[in-house]
Amino acid sequence: MTDAGPEQANADTRPLDHSTTWPLFFRLRHYATAVWAENIKEWKLELTYPLDFLRSLVDPVVYLLPYVFYGIALVGGRFSPNLQKLVGTTDIVSFITIGYVFIGFMNMALWAMGFSLRKEQMYGTLEPVFAAPVPRWVFTMGMSMHSILHQFLMILVQLLFILAAFSLKVNPLGLLPSLAMIGLMLVALYGIGMIMASTTLIFKQGWLISEALGSLLMVVTPIAYPLAVLPVFMQKAALAVPTTYGILAARHFLMGEEMGFSVLTAFMRVAVLCVVWVVFGLVIFTAIDKSTRRSGTLSHY
């Protein structure tokens, strides 16, 4: 309307989220409530299908075993002299298990967060969720909180099974520093998850982006092999992926794998990746969210 005054124009562009005018503490509390509510909603949805929930706890064990058996078939036993030469450890079962246990968090970022908006769209609830008086990133953070908790449960089952079936040889003192590194890795993965969630708004069939990126990251991340066996360009790409440091450091602390760089360097690099991925993720998410709403394609399939 051409006769609308400047006040009217401002009112039209003002964010719906009025909490942005609140003091910081109240604003954070408001966001935390929304994150928790989203987390609870996801748990309720998940537990509505109890069989599916039980299956999701058994899945990680089924995922892991083919990789372990493949390694045993290659070597003809549990210990590989070639692995010893490359990273200073021979036990392929412990090596592969630790790699696969922690890569689960990457799937969390790519799948749970990446697919979250598409799921809401399928349920027909995307528009009400987006109309809620909180920023959109709060919504994806709630999704990621649920996924992280779920992932920890899955890891617990995976470790219990492997401990019972094979005697996993790890250094218990390495557990705390490993978890510290995994915590940092999760922050960086949240940034990647934000990008994944936003691409769904444009491409709709978001699973494809998650699958494609997941497949690429599974190749460059040294899950069941050390970085040294990758071609040079892949080794360089691996250094920009937080899961590389998470897995290498976890194996370093738990079973003495030689990383090729110091522990301090690993922590510093992941800290930098956290900042880069989270900022990049938020910028991309905000830009795509704005563009989708402007073009009116939010509800398109």
Partner 1 sequence: MSFAATAYVIRAEMAKTLRIYFAYPIIMVYWAIFPVLWVFPFLFQGKAMVGSTTSAAFQQLTGSGNYMAFVLIGAMVSNFVFSGLWGVGNSLREETYWGTMEYIIASPTHPLVVLIGKTLAEAAVTTCIVTMQATTISLLPFDISFTVAKVLPVMLLVVLLMVGFYGFAIAFAGFTLLIKEVHGWVHTLEWVFFLFSPIRYPVQVNPIASFVSVLIPLTWALVAIRGIILLNRRAVGLWRISGILLAMDAALLVGGYFTFVALERKTRRDGTVGMH
Chain positions contacting partner 1, by CB under 8 A: 49, 51-52, 55-56, 58-59, 62-63, 65-67, 69-77, 80, 82-83, 85-86, 92, 96, 122-123, 205, 208, 211-212, 215-216, 218-219, 223-226, 228-230
- Output the smallest distance, CB 67 to partner 1, in A: 7
> Cα 60 to the chain's mean position, in Å?
15
Q: Least separation, in Å, of the C-beta of 264 and partner 1?
A: 26
Q: Which two tokens stand for residue 134?
A: 């909180």
* Alpha-carbon gap, residue 112 to 116, rounded angstroms: 6
Rg of the chain on CA atoms, in Å: 22
Task: From residue 271, give the alpha-carbon distance in Å to each of 80, 169, 248.
Answer: 33, 29, 15
Rounded Cα distance between 269 and 264, Å, is 9
Q: Which amino acid is at 35?
A: V
Q: Which is nearer to partner 1, 34 or 83 (by Cβ)?
A: 83
Nearer to partner 1, 167 or 205 (CB): 205
Q: Which two tokens stand for residue 263?
A: 């522990």
Q: Tell me whether residue 33 or residue 205 sits nearer to partner 1 (CB atom).
A: 205
Q: Which CB sits closer to partner 1, 223 or 254?
A: 223
- Minimum CB separation from partner 1 for residue 263, in Å? 22
Q: Which is nearer to partner 1, 188 or 223 (CB)?
A: 223
Q: Quick one: residue 203, left, alpha or beta (phi over 0 = left, psi -120 to 50 = alpha)?
A: alpha
In the complex, the smallest distance separating the C-beta of residue 71 from partner 1, rounded to whole angstroms, is 6
Least separation in angstroms between residue 97's CB and partner 1 is 13
Rounded to the nearest whole angstrom, what is the least distance from the CB of residue 134 to partner 1 in the complex?
Answer: 26
- Residue number, 114 or 135, with CB nearest to partner 1: 114
Pick between residue 19 and residue 292 the one whose CB is nearest to partner 1: 292
| Residue 110 vs 274, nearer CB to partner 1 | 110
CB of 288 closer than 8 Å to CB of 203:
no
Q: How far is the CB of 118 from partner 1 (least distance, A)?
A: 10
Distance CA 205, CA 121 (A): 11
d(CA 7, CA 11): 6
Contacts of 148-155 with CB under 8 Å at 24 or more apart are: 148/105, 148/108, 148/186, 149/39, 150/46, 150/56, 150/108, 150/112, 151/104, 151/105, 151/108, 153/57, 154/56, 154/57, 154/59, 154/60, 154/104, 155/60, 155/101, 155/102, 155/104
In whole angstroms, the minimum distance from the beta carbon of 26 to partner 1 comes to 37
The CA distances from residue 44 to 39, 48, 50, 97, 126, in Å, are: 9, 6, 10, 31, 17
